[in-house]
Amino acid sequence: MTESKILKLRGEDAEDIQIISAVLQDSIVPVCDIAYREEDKSFLMVTQRLCREKPEGEPEERVCCALTVTGVLNARVHGLDPNDSESMLDLLAIILEPAHCLNFVFAGDVRIRLDLGEWSCMIEDFGDKWPALCHPCHDTKHKD
């Protein structure tokens, strides 16, 4: 493995969220590593991020990446049993709606929707990287 460099990004608007979404696309997210803390209006999620910043041709790696959203007024889930702590989710995208809602879209029609007040978002890598054992395969064919 190569020397680890810590990725740390802060988001405060739709453009920032597009970048964070691209960085976290295809992350694996254990359900047990998702939490909404109503008492301090924060949402926390630990992902196993696919490191796309590596030079082409080098083996793909994953790293743990903590996502924190502050200023969360409410969190709702669709298609997810929060008690199924052993489930793993595949993160497809993070979308900020004009109505101050942050949507996490996962494979299998699973979604988490955060209603936001004055908010900010932060992602930060931690720990050592490891070889990616599975690789995302996106179908690029369009069906007519």
Q: Inform me whether the pLDDT recorded for 108 exceeds 70.
A: yes
Instruction: State the Cα–Cα distance between residues 107 and 126, nearest whole angstrom.
Output: 25
The answer to whether the CB of 78 falls within 8 A of the CB of 111 is: yes
The answer to whether the CB of 102 falls within 8 A of the CB of 69 is: yes
pLDDT tens track for 17-41: 999 999 999 999 999 999 999 999 9
Looking at per-residue confidence, does 4 or 101 come out higher?
101
pLDDT for position 88: 95
Half-sphere exposure of 138 (CA within 13 A, CB side): 8
Q: Give the E-state strand segments of 79-141 in sequence order.
A: 88-97, 101-106, 110-131
Q: Give the E-state strand segments of the chain in sequence order.
A: 8-11, 28-30, 34-37, 42-50, 61-78, 88-97, 101-106, 110-131
pLDDT for position 142: 41
Q: Inform me whether the pLDDT recorded for 111 exceeds 50.
A: yes
The answer to whether the CB of 24 falls within 8 A of the CB of 90 is: no
Note the pTM of the prediction, 2 decimals: 0.88
pLDDT for position 6: 85
Percent of the chain with pLDDT over 90: 75
Instruction: State the Cα–Cα distance between residues 91 and 81, nearest whole angstrom.
Output: 16
Q: Inform me whether the pLDDT recorded for 2 exceeds 60.
A: no
pLDDT for position 5: 74
